[in-house]
A and B are shown apart, each in its own frame.
Chain A
Protein backbone atom coordinates (compact mmCIF):
# COMPACT_ATOMS: atom_id res chain seq x y z
CA UNK A 1 0.00 0.00 0.00
CA UNK A 2 1.12 3.54 -0.77
CA UNK A 3 2.22 5.40 2.35
CA UNK A 4 -0.62 7.85 2.77
CA UNK A 5 -2.21 8.76 6.06
CA UNK A 6 -4.99 11.16 6.85
CA UNK A 7 -5.79 12.81 10.14
CA UNK A 8 -8.15 12.92 11.80
CA UNK A 9 -10.06 9.89 10.52
CA UNK A 10 -13.32 11.13 12.00
CA UNK A 11 -14.39 14.59 13.09
CA UNK A 12 -17.62 16.17 14.27
CA UNK A 13 -17.72 19.94 14.40
CA UNK A 14 -20.21 22.76 14.50
CA UNK A 15 -21.23 25.19 11.79
CA UNK A 16 -18.96 28.20 11.61
CA UNK A 17 -15.87 26.60 13.14
CA UNK A 18 -12.59 26.23 11.23
CA UNK A 19 -11.43 22.73 10.38
CA UNK A 20 -8.11 21.50 9.02
CA UNK A 21 -7.56 18.04 7.59
CA UNK A 22 -4.07 16.71 7.07
CA UNK A 23 -2.70 14.38 4.44
CA UNK A 24 0.77 12.93 4.91
CA UNK A 25 2.72 10.83 2.40
CA UNK A 26 5.98 8.94 2.64
CA UNK A 27 6.32 8.29 -1.12
CA UNK A 28 7.88 11.64 -2.08
CA UNK A 29 5.31 12.00 -4.87
CA UNK A 30 5.00 15.39 -6.49
CA UNK A 31 1.24 15.51 -6.93
CA UNK A 32 -1.31 15.52 -4.13
CA UNK A 33 -5.09 15.87 -4.31
CA UNK A 34 -8.09 16.44 -2.08
CA UNK A 35 -11.47 14.96 -3.00
CA UNK A 36 -14.83 14.80 -1.34
CA UNK A 37 -17.17 11.85 -1.72
CA UNK A 38 -20.93 12.27 -1.49
CA UNK A 39 -23.72 9.82 -2.36
CA UNK A 40 -24.75 10.14 -6.00
CA UNK A 41 -21.66 12.14 -6.95
CA UNK A 42 -18.73 9.80 -6.70
CA UNK A 43 -15.53 11.67 -5.89
CA UNK A 44 -15.10 15.32 -6.78
CA UNK A 45 -11.79 17.17 -6.86
CA UNK A 46 -11.48 20.08 -4.43
CA UNK A 47 -7.86 21.21 -4.88
CA UNK A 48 -4.61 19.71 -5.95
CA UNK A 49 -0.92 20.45 -5.62
CA UNK A 50 1.85 19.93 -8.16
CA UNK A 51 4.70 20.86 -5.84
CA UNK A 52 5.61 22.70 -2.66
CA UNK A 53 3.60 25.92 -2.54
CA UNK A 54 2.06 25.13 -5.95
CA UNK A 55 -1.67 24.49 -5.83
CA UNK A 56 -4.69 24.83 -8.09
CA UNK A 57 -8.45 24.63 -7.83
CA UNK A 58 -10.58 21.66 -8.70
CA UNK A 59 -14.23 21.18 -9.54
CA UNK A 60 -15.65 22.09 -6.09
CA UNK A 61 -13.15 24.47 -4.49
CA UNK A 62 -15.52 27.07 -3.03
CA UNK A 63 -15.28 27.21 0.76
CA UNK A 64 -11.95 25.34 0.87
CA UNK A 65 -8.32 26.38 0.93
CA UNK A 66 -5.15 24.30 0.84
CA UNK A 67 -1.50 24.63 1.71
CA UNK A 68 1.60 22.63 1.00
CA UNK A 69 4.74 23.79 2.77
CA UNK A 70 6.51 20.42 2.56
CA UNK A 71 6.47 17.67 -0.06
CA UNK A 72 4.97 15.19 2.37
CA UNK A 73 2.09 17.26 3.77
CA UNK A 74 -1.01 18.68 2.11
CA UNK A 75 -3.53 20.48 4.31
CA UNK A 76 -7.18 21.14 3.54
CA UNK A 77 -8.87 23.94 5.49
CA UNK A 78 -12.50 24.78 5.85
CA UNK A 79 -12.37 28.36 7.11
CA UNK A 80 -15.95 28.32 8.39
CA UNK A 81 -17.54 24.90 8.13
CA UNK A 82 -21.09 24.54 6.83
CA UNK A 83 -23.46 21.58 6.90
CA UNK A 84 -23.05 21.18 3.12
CA UNK A 85 -19.41 20.28 3.77
CA UNK A 86 -20.40 17.16 5.66
CA UNK A 87 -18.72 14.49 3.57
CA UNK A 88 -15.97 11.92 3.37
CA UNK A 89 -12.69 13.50 2.32
CA UNK A 90 -10.00 11.60 0.49
CA UNK A 91 -6.43 12.56 -0.15
CA UNK A 92 -4.60 11.06 -3.12
CA UNK A 93 -1.07 11.12 -4.47
CA UNK A 94 0.42 10.59 -7.89
CA UNK A 95 3.96 10.42 -9.16
CA UNK A 96 3.43 12.24 -12.44
CA UNK A 97 -0.03 13.76 -12.43
CA UNK A 98 -3.39 12.11 -12.91
CA UNK A 99 -3.28 12.11 -16.70
CA UNK A 100 -0.35 9.72 -16.75
CA UNK A 101 -0.41 7.78 -13.54
CA UNK A 102 -3.03 6.26 -11.36
CA UNK A 103 -3.69 8.00 -8.09
CA UNK A 104 -3.21 6.24 -4.76
CA UNK A 105 -5.75 7.12 -2.14
CA UNK A 106 -5.61 7.58 1.60
CA UNK A 107 -8.11 5.94 3.96
CA UNK A 108 -10.46 8.94 4.08
CA UNK A 109 -11.73 11.32 6.76
CA UNK A 110 -15.39 11.40 7.69
CA UNK A 111 -16.37 14.97 8.58
CA UNK A 112 -19.73 15.84 10.08
CA UNK A 113 -20.74 19.48 10.42
CA UNK A 114 -23.70 19.99 12.78
Chain B
Protein backbone atom coordinates (compact mmCIF):
# COMPACT_ATOMS: atom_id res chain seq x y z
CA UNK B 1 0.00 0.00 0.00
CA UNK B 2 1.07 3.53 -0.69
CA UNK B 3 2.20 5.60 2.28
CA UNK B 4 2.88 9.30 2.62
CA UNK B 5 5.13 10.77 5.29
CA UNK B 6 5.36 14.36 6.39
CA UNK B 7 8.17 14.51 8.90
CA UNK B 8 7.58 18.07 10.13
CA UNK B 9 4.48 18.27 12.37
CA UNK B 10 4.91 22.01 12.86
CA UNK B 11 6.85 24.81 11.21
CA UNK B 12 6.95 28.55 11.43
CA UNK B 13 8.25 31.27 9.13
CA UNK B 14 8.49 35.03 9.19
CA UNK B 15 6.27 36.96 6.84
CA UNK B 16 7.89 37.53 3.42
CA UNK B 17 10.41 34.73 3.90
CA UNK B 18 10.59 31.35 2.18
CA UNK B 19 9.72 28.01 3.74
CA UNK B 20 9.92 24.44 2.47
CA UNK B 21 7.64 21.64 3.64
CA UNK B 22 8.82 18.06 3.20
CA UNK B 23 6.95 15.03 1.92
CA UNK B 24 8.10 11.55 1.05
CA UNK B 25 6.05 8.66 -0.21
CA UNK B 26 6.38 4.99 -0.89
CA UNK B 27 4.96 3.27 -3.96
CA UNK B 28 5.82 0.67 -6.55
CA UNK B 29 3.77 2.44 -9.21
CA UNK B 30 5.36 4.56 -11.93
CA UNK B 31 2.44 6.74 -13.06
CA UNK B 32 0.68 8.58 -10.27
CA UNK B 33 -0.22 12.05 -9.10
CA UNK B 34 0.89 14.12 -6.15
CA UNK B 35 -0.92 17.01 -4.53
CA UNK B 36 -0.48 19.58 -1.82
CA UNK B 37 -3.64 20.69 -0.05
CA UNK B 38 -4.03 23.56 2.37
CA UNK B 39 -6.46 23.49 5.29
CA UNK B 40 -6.90 26.86 7.03
CA UNK B 41 -8.72 27.18 10.36
CA UNK B 42 -12.00 27.25 8.45
CA UNK B 43 -11.37 23.52 7.84
CA UNK B 44 -11.92 23.85 4.10
CA UNK B 45 -9.53 21.72 2.02
CA UNK B 46 -7.99 23.79 -0.78
CA UNK B 47 -5.80 22.47 -3.57
CA UNK B 48 -2.46 24.28 -3.69
CA UNK B 49 -0.56 22.47 -6.43
CA UNK B 50 -0.53 19.24 -8.43
CA UNK B 51 2.30 17.23 -9.98
CA UNK B 52 2.00 14.39 -12.47
CA UNK B 53 4.69 11.77 -11.96
CA UNK B 54 5.44 11.34 -15.66
CA UNK B 55 6.33 15.03 -15.96
CA UNK B 56 9.88 15.88 -14.99
CA UNK B 57 9.25 19.60 -14.80
CA UNK B 58 8.39 20.83 -11.34
CA UNK B 59 4.94 22.38 -10.98
CA UNK B 60 4.61 26.05 -10.05
CA UNK B 61 1.58 28.09 -8.99
CA UNK B 62 2.44 31.71 -8.24
CA UNK B 63 4.32 31.72 -4.91
CA UNK B 64 4.06 27.94 -4.56
CA UNK B 65 6.43 25.50 -6.22
CA UNK B 66 7.44 21.91 -5.73
CA UNK B 67 10.69 20.00 -5.85
CA UNK B 68 9.73 16.60 -7.25
CA UNK B 69 12.43 13.95 -7.01
CA UNK B 70 10.88 10.79 -8.43
CA UNK B 71 13.79 8.47 -7.75
CA UNK B 72 14.00 9.62 -4.16
CA UNK B 73 10.18 9.61 -3.85
CA UNK B 74 10.24 13.11 -2.49
CA UNK B 75 7.76 15.92 -3.11
CA UNK B 76 8.50 19.09 -1.15
CA UNK B 77 6.52 22.33 -1.26
CA UNK B 78 8.25 25.71 -1.31
CA UNK B 79 6.31 28.80 -0.35
CA UNK B 80 7.97 32.05 -1.32
CA UNK B 81 7.18 35.48 0.09
CA UNK B 82 5.10 33.92 2.89
CA UNK B 83 1.92 35.74 3.80
CA UNK B 84 -0.16 35.68 6.96
CA UNK B 85 -2.93 33.99 5.00
CA UNK B 86 -0.64 31.04 4.36
CA UNK B 87 -1.07 30.00 7.99
CA UNK B 88 -2.73 26.58 7.78
CA UNK B 89 -2.29 22.82 7.87
CA UNK B 90 -0.66 21.52 4.72
CA UNK B 91 -1.26 17.99 3.52
CA UNK B 92 0.72 16.09 0.95
CA UNK B 93 -1.29 13.49 -0.98
CA UNK B 94 -0.54 10.64 -3.36
CA UNK B 95 -3.14 9.41 -5.83
CA UNK B 96 -3.25 6.28 -7.92
CA UNK B 97 -6.28 4.54 -9.37
CA UNK B 98 -8.87 6.28 -7.19
CA UNK B 99 -6.87 5.65 -4.04
CA UNK B 100 -5.69 8.92 -2.51
CA UNK B 101 -3.41 8.73 0.52
CA UNK B 102 -2.66 11.74 2.68
CA UNK B 103 0.21 12.50 4.98
CA UNK B 104 -0.45 13.48 8.59
CA UNK B 105 0.05 17.14 7.79
CA UNK B 106 2.37 20.02 8.69
CA UNK B 107 1.01 22.94 10.66
CA UNK B 108 2.55 26.12 9.25
CA UNK B 109 2.42 29.40 11.12
CA UNK B 110 3.43 32.62 9.39
CA UNK B 111 4.57 35.21 11.90
CA UNK B 112 4.28 38.96 11.31
A residues lining the B interface (CB < 8 Å)? 31, 33, 40-45, 48, 50, 56, 58-59, 88, 90, 92, 97-100, 102-105, 107-108
Interface SS of chain B: helix, strand, loop or mixed?
A: strand
Q: Is the CB of A43 within 8 A of B91?
A: yes
A93 to B43 Cα, complex, angstroms = 17
Contact residues in A for B43 (Cβ distance below 8 Å): 88, 107-108
B98 in contact with A99 (CB, 8 Å)? yes
User: Smallest distance from the beta carbon of B63 to chain A beta carbons, Å?
Assistant: 18
Q: A43-B102, A105-B44 are in contact. Are A99 and B35 (CB under 8 A)?
A: no
* B30 CB, nearest partner CB in chain A, Å: 13
Task: Select one of A41, A42, A48, A90 contacting B98, CB under 8 A.
Answer: A48
**B45 lies within 8 A of chain A by Cβ:** yes
A50 x B91 contact (CB < 8 A): no
**Contact (A42, B100) CB under 8 Å given A88-B43, A100-B33, A107-B44:** no
Residues of B within 8 A of A (CB): 1, 4, 6, 32-33, 35, 43-45, 47, 50, 91, 93, 95-105
Interface centre among B1, B33, B45 (most CB of A within 10 A): B45
**Of A33, A44, A88, A102, which is within 8 A of B35 by CB?**
A102
CA distance A16 to B26 in the complex (A): 37
Minimum CB–CB distance for A112 against chain B, Å: 15
| Cα distance, A107 to B42, chains bound together (Å) | 8
